[in-house]
Structure 1
Amino acid sequence: MTTPVCQRLRALALYKELHRLGRDYDSSYDFHAKLRKLYEKNRHLKDETEIERALEFGEYIKNETLALYSLRKYRHLKRMYPPTSTSDP
C-alpha cells in the first residue's frame, strides 16, 4: 500500500519523463497535448488501485515510446549501410 504523496510524486516523475520523451516524437501527433489530456482526465482519481492502474499504463506508454525510438534508430542505421549480397565469393 503506497501513500497518496508517494503516488503523486511517481505521477509527477512519470509526467516529466514522458514530456521529455515527447520532445523527439513526431510533431504531427501532438504528443504533449495528448499527454496533458490523459493526465487531466485522471486527476479526479481517489482509489489507490485505479491510480496504480493509471501509473502502470503510463509506464507502458513510456516503454512503448522508448521501443519506437530504438526501432527508429535501428532503421536509420540499417539505411546507412549498403545491402549485402549473398552471392559474393
Structure 2
Amino acid sequence: MSSEVRTKVLQLYKQLIFLGREYPGGADKFRQQCHDAFIKNKHVQDPKQIMALVAKGRYVAKELEALYSLKKYRAMKQRYQKN
C-alpha cells in the first residue's frame, strides 16, 4: 500500500473515531464496530478497492454528521418551540 493511500485510510479512521464520541449507542461500541470494519478489510491490497472502501467510509462519516446535526436541530427546536 502506498503512503498516500495509507494516509487517507488513517485520516478516515481518525475522523470516524472522533465522530463516534457522540454516537447514540455509546462511543465504545462505535469504536469497536469501526475497528472491526477496518480489520475485516485489512487484507485488501488493490489501491482502487481501497479507495472505494475509503469513499464508503467517507459516506458513513457524512451520514454521522447529518445525524448529529439533526439531533442538535431537534433539541434546539424543542427548547424554543411555543406550546
Please state whether the residue corresponding to 2:67 is helix, strand or coil: helix
Letter in 2 for 1:7: V
1:52 lines up with 2:51 in the alignment = yes
If each structure's helix is expressed as a fraction of its own residues, which one has the higher value? Answer: 2
- Corresponding residue for 2:69? 70
1:1-89 alignment to 2 at 5 Å? 4-26=2-24, 27=26, 30-83=29-82
Structure 1: tracts of 5 or more residues without a match:
85-89
**Distance apart, 1:48 and its partner CA:** 1.3
**Distance apart, 1:83 and its partner CA:** 3.1
TM-score, normalised with respect to structure 2:
0.90
Q: CA RMSD in A?
A: 1.8
TM-score, normalised with respect to structure 1:
0.85
CA distance in 2, matches of 1:19, 1:25: 10
Please state whether the residue corresponding to 2:22 is helix, strand or coil: coil
Structure 2: tracts of 5 or more residues without a match:
none
* Deviation digits for residues 38-86 of structure 1 (CA, Å, limit 9, x no counterpart): 00011111111110110001100100000000000000000001337xx
CA distance in 1, matches of 2:70, 2:37: 25
- Deviation beyond 3 Å, 4+ runs, structure 1: none
Equivalences, count: 82
